[in-house]
Amino acid sequence: MDYRIRHVEQKDLDQVTAVEAVCFPEAEAAGKEDFRQRIEAFPESFFVAEEKDGNIIGFINGAVTGHRTICDEMFEDVRFHDRNGAYQSVFGLDVVPERQGQGVASALMEHLIETARVQGRKGVILTCKERLIPFYQKFGYQNLGVSQSVHGGAVWYDMILEF
């Protein structure tokens, strides 16, 4: 592996924001202020994949919640983060295009899943587009069907991995 996975730091803010901008359409992408708040609120569940030269090639992040599915408000308000919640959510799993298909996303997901297990969570939840359902099923996620989320005007599916 020519990169390492580590907790996010405030100094990563600009790079994380830039990675998000190339990975998601503008209507779905979190902005710099969103990331600043997430880094402050839940750095323990925000990980970056960093090359030896300090370049961030991907990241995964999400709040902890007591709910089995993600609501749109969670993306916008870090007060929904509950350190004692039962479920780790995934707000975003991003890998720069030139590093996609090389196992970086899988390594980040496995890292977050293992962290959630160690922290005693009941599982991990996320929303995804239909084309990504098979990717998440490889980790053991179950498709709960179309989500109530309308984030960015897209159709999302609720996925859950229960331990």
CATH of the domain at 125: 3.40.630.30
- Alpha-carbon distance 91 to 94, whole Å? 10
Question: Could you list the residue range(s) of the whole structural domain that residue 103 is in?
Answer: 3-162
- Alpha-carbon distance 12 to 1, whole Å? 21
pLDDT tens string for the chain (163 positions)? 799 999 999 999 999 999 999 999 898 899 999 999 999 999 999 999 999 999 999 999 999 999 999 888 888 888 888 999 999 999 999 999 999 999 999 999 999 999 999 999 999 999 999 999 999 999 999 999 999 998 888 899 999 999 9
If one counts the domains in the chain, the total is: 1
Q: What is the DSSP string of 88-102?
A: EEESEEEE-GGGTTT
- Alpha-carbon distance 151 to 56, whole Å? 25
pLDDT of 151 = 84
pLDDT of 19 = 98
Tokens of 102: 């090389």
Report yes or no: 149 and 71 within 8 Å, Cβ to Cβ.
yes
